[in-house]
Structures are given as structure tokens and as C-alpha cells.
A = this chain, B = another copy of it.
Amino acid sequence: MIVRSQPSFQDIIFTVHGSILPRIARRLAAIAVVSVIAILAAQAHPGIFARISTIPFTLIGIALSIFMSFRNNACYARWWEGRQLWGELIISARSFARETSLLPDEDRRALLHSICGFACGLTARLRGEDEIAAIAPWVDIGPATKSPNVTNLVLDRMGRRLLELKQTGVITPIHYAVVAEDMRSFGKVQGACERISTTPVPFAYSLLLHRTALIFCVMLPFALAGSLDWWTLLPVLLTAYTFFGLDALGHELEDPFGVEPNCLPLYAMKRTIERDMLSLLGEEDLPPPLEPHKSVLS
């Protein structure tokens, strides 16, 4: 995630890093080439081009804007829901720690370490890394590596431990019910993150919008070359920059758990949970919070 929110004037002119520009540079270049061809053709055969009406392009362009805004809305909503889920994870972790503060020290330590392990495992799972290795520093999950969902196994063990604490009378049944709500919340966060991660926006939407945007931007210079001559390049490139840029940005937000600059900072949020849990366990030697690298927090 890029931690700056408002671009300064210099940013507007010069920023490339964090911008969507590098990802669409090749497509912009192709459109520029097409524009030059259109301009040269218009200079050679002015009669034909003068007759081309720009009105249908206005119509298609506005329709395209409306549909692209719809897709961007959907992608942004996924990104924001992803952030809300991780926020809920942080909230529930703190609540869990608060509710268990009078448990025997050892039990509590094991449970809060399990939460750290759960957060590490979820991060690894969503980013396609090795779940077992990520969990190992916090929880000893033993040789049960055949499970298709090791992160859920961590949660399962926590739940079993809590049930045992209830059966041995360490926590009352009603207190168990209160704590179970946090457990439910952890499970919900994992399930919902997996849902976002495995279910892309319907492919046919992306394909339809890509195709229309590409054909539109290829056709636009032919419509404008007759009247604008070399000036054609400006509105064509500005339009292409906006459409391709929003399209590429929507794609980046569609999977909010990736490692691209605009994705969510899972590592930093995982570290926040670790610091919160260790601090509530009374430890003073906390791992440092993650710092943004070139304004990007991963």
C-alpha cells in the first residue's frame, strides 16, 4: 500500500513509482503509433476523414466510462472489504486478549501465540507462500501436514484448547460463550479472505471492457485526425491514459492480497497483531513495526 494520500504538484508531474503508468506504457505507445498512422493517412486523404462524425465516439466513450466505473466500484469494494476483514482480525485479537487476561499465564501465552500464528498463516496462504513455515515460529502444529488448510488447523487447536479449559472449569460456560465470539470472528475473517482471493470479478466483464476500451482507443484517432491534425495525439493519449489506467488499477485492487504497490500491507498488519499480542503479554522487547520502503508498505 502506498502510504501517501495526496499527490503534491511535483508528484502530479513526475511521479512514476506507485503510478499506474509503467503498467500501461506499452499499450499507450501502441496507441501513439496508431495515432500517427491516422494523422498521416488524414493528411494524405483529407476528403475521407473530414466526413467522419465524432458523435458515435462520444456515445461509446460515455457508455464505456459508465461501465468501467461500475467495474472499478466492484474492485474497490473488494479491496476495502479485504481491509475491513484485516481490521476485524486486529480488533478481535485485542478483544480475545482482553477476555483472557485472567487465565493462567501459560495458557494465555499459548493462546495469544496461536493468534500470531494464525495471522502469519493467513498472510502466507493469501500470498501463496508456505503456510507451515510461516506458522512454525509461533505454534508447533506437529507432523499433521496433510491437512488441506493448515491455517484453519491452528484455529481448530485453539478452539479445542478453549473447550478443554471450559471442561476443566478454568473458564465458566458463559465466559466461554463470550470468547467463542472472537473465535467465530477469526474464522469469518479467514473464510471471507479466501472468498475474495479465489473469486475474481467475472472474467467476461473484464474481457468485454478490455476489448471495448482497446477498440475504442484504436478507432478514436481516425475520428479526430481529420480536424485536429497533429493535436490528435493529445486527447487520444489522455483518453487512453485514463481508460487503460483505471482498468489496470481496477485489476490491481481486484486481488487486494497481492504484492503489487496498491495492494494491502498484509505483512505490516500481521506485525501489528504480533506487537499487540506480545505487548499485552507484558513483553517489552517487541519486534519493530514495518516501515514503508519508497513509500510502499507491503
Which residues of A approach B to under 8 Å, CB–CB?
1-7, 11-12, 15, 18-20, 51-67, 69-70, 72-74, 76, 79-80, 83-84, 87-88, 90-91, 94-95, 97-99, 101-102, 146-149, 152, 155-156, 159-160, 163-164, 166-167, 172-178, 180-181, 183-184, 187-188, 190-192, 194-195, 199-208, 210-212, 214-216, 219-220, 224, 227-229, 231, 234-235, 238-239, 241-243, 245-246, 249, 251-255, 261-262, 264, 275-276, 279-280, 284, 286, 289, 295
Contacts and interface: CB of A to CB of B under 8 A. Distances in A.
Contacts of A4: 200, 203
A95 B187 contact: yes
B101 A160 contact: yes
Nearest to A295: B203
A283 to B, nearest CB: 10
A89 to B, nearest CB: 9
B148 A286 contact: yes
B174 A242 contact: no
14 contacts: A5-B200, A5-B203, A7-B206, A20-B208, A51-B229, A56-B224, A56-B239, A57-B59, A67-B72, A74-B76, A79-B202, A95-B187, A204-B249, A208-B246
B159 A207 contact: no
B149 A279 contact: yes
A187 B98 contact: yes
**Number of copies of this kind of chain in the complex:** 5
Contacts of A54: 53, 55-56
Nearest to A236: B56
B173 A176 contact: no
A62 B148 CA distance: 49
A3 B279 contact: no
Nearest to A231: B52
A99 B159 contact: yes
A7 B207 contact: yes
Given A54-B56, A99-B180, A212-B241, 7 more contacts: A4-B203, A7-B207, A70-B72, A83-B199, A176-B178, A212-B242, A219-B234
Nearest to A268: B198
Contacts of A180: 99, 178
Given A70-B69, A178-B180, A18 B97 contact: no
B51 A20 contact: no
Of all A-B residue pairs in the complex, the 3 with the closest CB atoms, nearest first, are A5-B200, A91-B191, A2-B203
Contacts of A152: 94, 276
Nearest to A86: B195
Contacts of A243: 63
A6 B251 contact: yes
